[in-house]
Amino acid sequence: MFWQVIDEMLNGVLFVLIGLQFASIEFPPGSAVAAFLVLTLCLLSRYLVVGLPTSAGHHWFGLPPRSGLLLTWSGVRGGISVALALSMPPGADRDLILMLTYTVVVFSILVQGLTVARLVRVLGLSVEGSSDARH
């Protein structure tokens, strides 16, 4: 319990620092295109590494057939990637990496995190009303 409280406190401090740093990040022209490409690459790479093997071998893992899509979408990113980006030395490369990292983290938390329950229902993976829910 002690380490969980410490973990929550440090995550809280990290996201306060993220908020403070986010205000100073410049979004240059064309950054929306770069952010879209990075988000697409993140989701595609997660699908190739986690989703595809899970979908192909779902019977070996005892998972429902479409669970690979859910695992791909629910891969929330956050604290460690931002901490690594913040540790870079000042410069143009750091600003670009910070902007792209923040974009991925915010998308991951707000869009992916808030829509994962809906995706569970759409994919038919919900255990509500299932006889397996009691086991």
Tokens of 115: 């829509």
Model confidence, pTM: 0.73
**Domain chopping of the chain, boundaries:** 31-124
CB within 8 A of 43, min separation 6: which ones?
72, 73
- Per-residue pLDDT of the chain (135 residues), as tens digits, is 899 899 888 878 877 877 777 777 777 788 889 999 999 999 999 999 988 988 888 788 888 888 888 888 988 777 788 878 888 898 878 888 888 888 888 888 889 989 999 999 998 887 654 444 444
- Within 13 Å, how many C-alpha atoms sit on residue 14's CB side? 18
